[in-house]
Structure 1
Amino acid sequence: MSAGRLAGRYSLLRPLGAGGMGKVWLARDEMLEREVAVKELTLPEGTSPKDRADLVTRAVREAQATARLRHPGIVALHDVVVEHERPWLVMELLRGRTLAETVREFGPMPPAYAARVGAEVLEALTVAHAQGMQHRDVKPGNVFLTDKGRVVLTDFGIARQEGQATLTEQGMMIGSPGFIAPERLDGEPGGPASDLWSLGATLYVALTGASAYEGSAAQRVRATLTQPVPVAPGPLGPLLAAMMAQRPAARPSSHAAVEALRQVAAGGPAPRLPSTQEVTAPGRVKRRRRVVIWAAAAAAVVVAAGTTGYFVLRGQESGTPSAFTVPMDVCKLIGSQDVGRLLRTQSPPKGQPSSDEVGPKCGWPISGSGVGLQVQKDSDTVDPWSMTVSSSRVLFQNQKRWWTKYDSVDWTWPEIGVKESRTAKRTQVRQIDGVGEEAFGVELAGSTGRVHTSYVYYRLANLVVSVEYSTLAERPTDEDVKQTALKAAQASVQALRNAG
C-alpha cells in the first residue's frame, strides 16, 4: 500500500486486518528502524467538523490513558498521530496468534495451560482496573499468544475510564455477544467484575473449544440473561462458573481468581471458593429493561423465543436468507463448472482454501489467471457467521471507503505467476446493482493502463464477500475482466442463496 508516511516516520506496509473501528496496518518506524502495528481509527460518517474535532480529542485522551498501562500482558502503545483528520495508534507488533485462532487450529487447551493464560490476562486486567479502566471486550480474539510465550491482552480501543464516555460509546452496547456480562446487557456501565465475567467466558472457550452460549447474536444475549451458567469439565469448571455468576457480587475477587488459576497452572486442584462466592443457577432477576441498540438489531435474526442452535432464517417475501450462522466451506461458493467457464479452461483447478485476519478465503489459480473469494469479518467478531446485519453494513461501507482513499496498491499473486509485488493503479469505485443487497466494484491497472484485476464486494444479509478475477493475458479487454469478476460474484451469490 502506498500511503506515504505518518508523522514523517511511520511507513504503512500492508493491512493486517479490518473492523468496525478501522484498520490495522503493518508499518515500519523509520526513525527507530523497527516494525510496528498502526491502528487507523475510523470516525462516523456525516460528522460535523466540530463533532469530528471533539471525537479526535477524545480518542487521543483515551489513547493517553491506555499508554499509562505498563504491563507485559498489555500491548504497548508507542505513539498517537493525528493525520488526515483521524487518529492513528502506533503499537508494538506482536507475532503469534490469538487464543481464538489457537483453539480453532489445535483444539481445547489442557487445564493447566488455560489456567496460566487466564492468570496472566487477569493480572493485566488488574493493572488496568487499578487505574480506573475497564477493557469491556475481553474475548478469545483479543487474547494474543506470542511466539515467545507472552500472553497479551490486546485492543484497549474501547476501554472505558470510570466517569467518562468513550469514542465508541454512541449510545450502543460495546462488546461481543456471548462475552458481555449480564449487568452490561442490562444497560449498566459495569466494572472490574464485568471484565472478570468476560474472562471466564473466554477461558470456557479455551477449555472446551466452544462458547458457553452459542447461536446467533440475539440467542447469545438471551442465553446470557436467562440460562444457568454452564460448567466446563475438569478442575477449572467450578472456578469459571463462579467467575460467570449472574450477579457481580457473587463472583470471586480478582485476587482470589488469580490465586486459583495459578494453583491449577502449577498442576494442583482449584481451591474451593468461599460459599458466598459459589455460583448457582440464576433465579428470576428483576432487570432494568433498557433497550440495547445492537441487541435490537440482532433480534432481527430470531425466529421465536426459545429457539436455539444454528439456523438460517429466510425473509418472508424473498428467498434471501436474513442471516447465515452456519460455517460453510467457502471453496464451494463457486462450483467447478463455473470456475472452468470463468478461467476458460476444460480442467478447472480445485479451490485452495486459506484464512487470515479478515476471514476464510479460497483461490482458484492457474498459470496466468485466477479467481479468488473471501468471506469477511470485522476485528470485533469471532468469524463471519457471527456477524449481524448491522455490523456487516458497517464493514461493507468501511471497505468501500478504504478503496476510495488510495490511488495505488501493491499487488501480487504468486500462484498465477506474479511472485513479486507490483504497483497497480486503482480505478474509480463504482456501484454495482443486482449483486447481493448492495455491491461495488473496483479495478487495478498496470503501467500500460490496461486493467488486469477486478474486485466485486457485496453484502448479502449478514455476510460481506469479496470476489476477484485477475489475468496476465493481453487479449481480454477491460470490460471482459470486469464481466468475469461480476459473473464470479453472481455465481457465489446464487450458491449462498441455495445454501440457505
Structure 2
Amino acid sequence: MSGERLANRYLLLRPLGSGGMGRVWLARDEMLDREVAVKELTLPEGLPPHDRAELIARAAREAQATAQLRHPGIVALHDVVVEHDRPWLVMELLRGRTLGDAVREHGPMPQEYAARIGAEMLDALAAAHARGLQHRDVKPGNVFLTDSGRVVLTDFGIARQEGQSTLTEQGLMIGSPGFIAPERLEGDPGGPASDVWSLGATLFVAVTGGPAYDGTAAQRIRATLTHQVPHAPGPLGPVIAAMMAPDPAARPPAPHLAQALRQVASGQQPHLVTHHDVTASGQVGQAGRAGRRGRPLVVVAVAAVAAVVVAAATTGVLLMRDGAGGGVPEAFTAPMDVCSLLDDEEVGLYLRTQRLPEPAPGSDEVGPRCQWPIQSTGVEVQVQKDSDTRDPWAMTPEAARVLFANQQRWWSRHDKLDWTWPEIGADGSLPVTRTAVRKVGGVGEEAFAFELKGKTGRLHTALVYYRLANLVVFVGYTALSERLGDEDIKQTALKAAKATEQALRRAG
C-alpha cells in the first residue's frame, strides 16, 4: 500500500508499526508539505455492512472528540479520512521512542525522571477528563518520549466519551491486561480514576523495569481482580500504591497526585492528599501546597533576594535580581527574537564568509529557533521549553534546571543517531556517532557539550546546551567541508554559545 494516497492528499510512505487496532504509517501531507503519522484502523472480519458502517461512524465521532484536545502532552489529531471501507486517523508525527521501549533498552528509570513523566501524563489526562474523555489504554507503549524532550500520550483509539458507548463495547478490545483498572474488569465503564490506576501501573514499569503483574493475560487479570497492590521502591512507591488503590474513591485526586509526583521529580519526599483528607478538611493543607510549580515560585525567589520588578506594557514583565551575579536575570519573561542573539559580524565570523545568509527563524514543539545556513556550513540557536510551559519565557528557573538535566541525560544515553540539515546540503538521514557528553565552563550557569561525527570519524557538528536563569539554550555549529579541524569546530560552537549568552545578559 506504500505510495498510495488518501483523500488525494496524504501519501503513504512506509509502515512505522502495528498493534491491536491497526497499522501506523509514515505519510506526507502534500497540501501542507509536512510529514505526518497515519493510523489505519482495522475492523473485525465478517461484520455485516450495517455494523461495519456503525463502527466507522463511531470511530469518526471518537476521533472528533479527540481532535478537540489541545495539549502538549496529547498527540495532535489533524484529520480523519474514511477510505477502503475503514477509518484513517492523521496525526502529528512524533520522533523518539515509547516509555516501554526506553525501559527495555536502558532498564529502570531514575525516580525523578519517572516522576516527571507521571506528572506530565496526569496533566494530559486532566485535559482529556475535563472534556469528558477517558483514555482507557494508558500503558508504557502509549507514553511517547520524543527526541525533543516532550512526553506525549498517544493512541486514543479506544477512548470513551461520557454518555457514549465505544468501539470497545462492540468487542474490539478493552485495553491491555495488567494496565486495566479493576473496576473496569468487573464491568464498570470506569472514569478518570481508572486512567489514574493505569498510569500507576505504567510508572511501576518505569521504575522497576517490569510489570506490576506478571504472567499470562489471564494471570495478570486475576492478580488485578484479587486487589493485589504492588510495591515499588523509592519515594515513588507510596505514590504508585495510592494510584493503584483497588477502590477508585481511595485514589487521591489527580491534581494532588501530580503535585506529589513533582515533589519527587525535584528530589523531595511526596506529600499525598487523599479524597478523605480533602472531604474532611474542605481544603488542601499546607503540605499539599508545598512545591507547586509555576510563576509564583519565581516571585518568591525574587522577593528573597530583594528583587526589582520592571514592567513594560508592550514587552511584558522582567523580574530582576539586585545587582549581584553580574546582572543575571532571575527570570527572562519578555519574549525576544531568537535571531537577534547573534549579530551579522558574529555570524560572518563563524561561517567564514562575507556573504551573509538571511536568518531563518522557525519554531517547533521545543521552542523558537533561528538558523544561518550556507552551503556545507551553518549555525543554529534555539531557546527551549518543556511540555508543561507555553513558551520559554514562561519557564521557571526550577523547570529550566529539570529540562537541562533531562536533555543532558537523554543525550548521554544515545550515541547512534540519524542527522540531517538539507539547507546546507546534508540531504537524507545520515548516520552519526555522538562523542562523550561533557560539562563545559564559561557559558551560562551550567552547560554541556558534545560533537557528532560521520562514518570517516571526522567531526562535522558541535553542540552546546547551557542554562541561564530560566532559559535553556541550544547552539549548534556544522562544517561539512574538511578545511576545518575538529578543535576549530568545537571552539566555534562554544564561541557562538558565549555570544548568545552575552546577548541575553544585555537584553536582561
Q: CA deviation at 1:266?
A: 1.3
Amino acid corresponding to residue 154 of structure 2 in structure 1: T
Aligned-pair distance for 1:3? 4.5
SS of match in other structure, 1:137:
coil
Alignment-mate amino acid for residue 136 of structure 1: R
Give yes or no for contact 1:242–1:277 (8 Å, CA) kept in 2. no
Are the aligned partners of 1:251 and 1:277 in contact in 2 as well (CA < 8 Å)? Answer: no
Three-state SS of the structure 2 residue aligned to 1:179 is coil
Amino acid at match of 1:243: M
Displacement after TM superposition at 1:274 (Å): 4.3
Q: CA 1:115–1:235 in structure 2 vs 1: closer, same or farther (change >3 Å)?
A: same
Query: Alpha-carbon deviation of 1:23?
Result: 0.9
Task: Name 2:56's counterpart in structure 1.
Answer: 56
Whether 1:144 and 2:144 are equivalent positions in the alignment is yes
Which residue in 2 is equivalent to 1:197? 197
The alpha carbon displacement at 1:277 in A equals: 7.2
The within-5 A match list for 1:170-209 is 170-171=170-171, 174-209=174-209
Does the aligned pair in 2 maintain the 1:27–1:37 contact within 8 Å?
Answer: yes
> Per the alignment, in what secondary structure is the counterpart of residue 104 of structure 1?
helix
> How many percent identity over aligned positions?
76
1:33-432 counterparts in 2 under 5 A?
33-171=33-171, 174-274=174-274, 276=276
Is residue 118–residue 261 contact of structure 2 (8 Å, CA) maintained in 1? Answer: yes
User: Which of structures 1 and 2 has the bigger CA Rg?
Assistant: 2
Q: Within 1, Cα distance between the matches of 2:243 and 2:277?
A: 9
Q: Is the 8 A contact 2:252 2:275 kept in 1?
A: no
Q: Distance in 2 between matches of 1:197 and 1:71?
A: 21
Cα distance in 1 for partners of 2:277, 2:197 equals 13
TM-score using structure 1 length? 0.54
Q: Is the 8 A contact 1:173 1:185 kept in 2?
A: no
| Cα displacement (A) at 1:78 | 0.4
Q: Which amino acid aligns with 2:142?
A: N
Give distance in 1, aligned partners of 2:24 and 2:97: 15
Figure out how many residues of one structure are paired with residues of the other and give that number.
278
Once residues 3 and 43 of structure 1 are traced to their aligned partners in structure 2, the CA distance between those partners, rounded to angstroms, is 23
Question: In 1, Cα distance between the equivalents of 2:275 and 2:28?
Answer: 53
Q: Look up the SS of the partner of 2:223 in the other structure.
A: helix
State TM-score, norm by structure 2: 0.53
Q: CA deviation at 1:135?
A: 0.3
Give 3-state SS (helix, strand or coil) of 2:46's partner. Answer: coil
Change (3 A) 1:7 1:172: closer
After superposing on structure 2, the runs of 4+ consecutive aligned residues of structure 1 that deviate more than 3 Å are: 272-278
Q: Unpaired runs of 5+ in structure 2?
A: 279-508
Q: Structure 1 counterpart of 2:57, which letter?
A: T
Please give the alpha-carbon distance, in whole angstroms, between the structure 2 residues aligned to 1:49 and 1:106. 47
Unpaired runs of 5+ residues, structure 1, are: 279-500
3-state SS of 2:149 partner: coil
In the TM superposition, what is the alpha-carbon distance from 1:128 to its structure 2 partner?
0.5
Equivalent residue of 1:38, what SS?
strand
User: Residue 115 of structure 1 contacts residue 265 of structure 1 at CA under 8 Å; is this kept in 2?
Assistant: yes
Q: Which amino acid aligns with 2:7?
A: A
Change over 3 Å in CA distance of 1:8–1:136 after alignment to 2? same
- Is 1:213–1:224's contact at 8 Å kept on the other side of the alignment? yes
Q: Which amino acid aligns with 1:231?
A: H
| Structure 1 residue identity aligned to 2:75 | V
Number of the residue aligned with 1:429: none
What's the secondary structure of 2:71's corresponding residue? coil
Going from structure 1 to structure 2, the CA distance change for 1:151 and 1:168 (only over 3 Å counts) comes to same
| CA 96–51 in structure 1, closer or farther in 2 if over 3 Å, else same | same
Q: What do residues 300-358 of structure 1 show as CA deviations (whole Å, max 9, x unaligned)?
A: xxxxxxxxxxxxxxxxxxxxxxxxxxxxxxxxxxxxxxxxxxxxxxxxxxxxxxxxxxx
**Distance in 2 between the 1:59 and 1:162 partners?**
15
Shift, 1:170, TM fit = 1.5
Alpha-carbon separation, structure 2, partners of 1:27 and 1:172: 26
Cα offset for 1:17?
1.1
Matched residue type, 2:235: P
Secondary structure at the aligned position of 1:158 is classed as coil
Instruction: Supply the RMSD in Å over aligned alpha carbons.
Output: 1.6
Query: What is the CA–CA distance in structure 2 between the aligned matches of 1:172 and 1:184, rounded to whole Å?
Result: 15
Distance (Å, rounded) in 2 between the aligned partners of 1:257 and 1:109: 19
Map of 1:352 onto structure 2? none
How far is 1:169 from its partner?
2.4
Letter in 1 for 2:185: L
